A and B are shown apart, each in its own frame.
Chain A
């Protein structure tokens, strides 16, 4: 990442958060001043089921080191069933990425409710640590997109 180029490796994390639960959970962790690394960048989507596998691959291609998808807990989806579809899609996609030899810790799905600000921060800290251990994403990166 760009901030501490000379210091230790800081992974770039893209977090897709559903508007109703996880984005609100992220807001709550802000309201409660719970820290997590600034390399985590959140993209708001209406529901986790809006996240197309293409977005995830695109993020990796452009240099993200980890992608995490957050949605309402199963059964609590604002749209009733969106996260159930997400769960199947992401299970299969992550399994495929694993099959292609991509480090499995670079991807994750986590259910974070609007009340779980603490969980959101903890999840982001944990995930960042896990990705940090893996080092920079090289396997899915498009080298031409690399920053100079």
Chain B
């Protein structure tokens, strides 16, 4: 795949159809794949990577990149296309300045899960019939492929590209995922249990802002929590701000806009399952206001910017679920 992508990118650069390519390159470690912009064929040859660790969603980078001179080539996985569409809808990216090549998505691997098996010094991986062969500095290790995949890929909602200029590989379908199972499980706990669960999780937050910085929906020019004039500025984890304000408001701000790409949880160094907050909103929106998938199109009205005269009352929260 990587080879085909590099070739196609070189071709488009040579044609002058695009003047830049956004893709990924390797970081410090083999599993440390980060987005990068390439301008020449040489750079592509040398550094462009697309492998089982390439999970990062590059659509957010296009907010800035698409406003620059010329057209940029972006390789988007199915989940990334939802984010891109949502950004188009919100006028955050300039669609005309991006040439989108849809590429097949995951499942992608979670280095943390491999490390959890006691496997360290990872140099590379190979998927052979769903057995993961891991090349380490200490020799080769093996583990079942599906035990190493990212949580967000385990609950993948769609293998379909909702926007692209051309497609590489086969087009997939929207999936019947079980992504709300964990939300439901929490809903069925008692309030005290839920409180304990979330206190346990959210109190780990170190306010590194990785969730916010990676989130394709969090593209504000200036975040309210960074703005000294907003009255809610807070930059360090000094009190219970994260538990009581930051994560709730962050989830609320992306409610109805979050495409459930799962990047927030993927990048959290404390492994807080932040995507569950977003999924709770998605689940509520689906059940209360009708099925809605953010990013599926670029024209529909976001549920929070819409209403029906016979919407349910807020008291519905008091009437359902476990107290």
Contacts and interface: CB of A to CB of B under 8 A. Distances in A.
Judge: A and B partners, yes or no: yes
Interface of A: 53-54, 57-58, 60-61, 74-75, 81, 84-85, 87-105, 107-109, 139-144
A128 B311 CA distance: 27
Contacts of A99: 183, 186-187, 194, 277, 280
B168 interface: no
A19 to B, nearest CB: 20
Contacts of A140: 244
Interface residues of B, number: 48
B175 interface: no
Contact of B313 (A53, A89, A91, A104): A91
B304 interface: yes
Nearest to B230: A54
6 contacts: A84-B311, A91-B284, A98-B191, A101-B192, A101-B193, A104-B191
Contacts of A53: 248-249, 252
Contacts of B317: 91, 94-95, 98, 104
Interface stretch (B17-25, B156-164, B195-203): B195-203
Interface of B: 183, 186-187, 191-199, 224, 232, 239-241, 244-245, 248-249, 251-252, 255, 277, 280-281, 284-285, 288-289, 303-309, 311-318, 321, 323
A109 B240 contact: no
Contacts of A141: 244
B239 A142 contact: yes
Given A85-B304, A88-B303, A92-B285, A101 B194 contact: yes
Given A58-B232, A98-B191, A88 B318 contact: no
Contacts of A143: 239-240
Contacts of A95: 280, 284, 317
A91 B252 contact: no
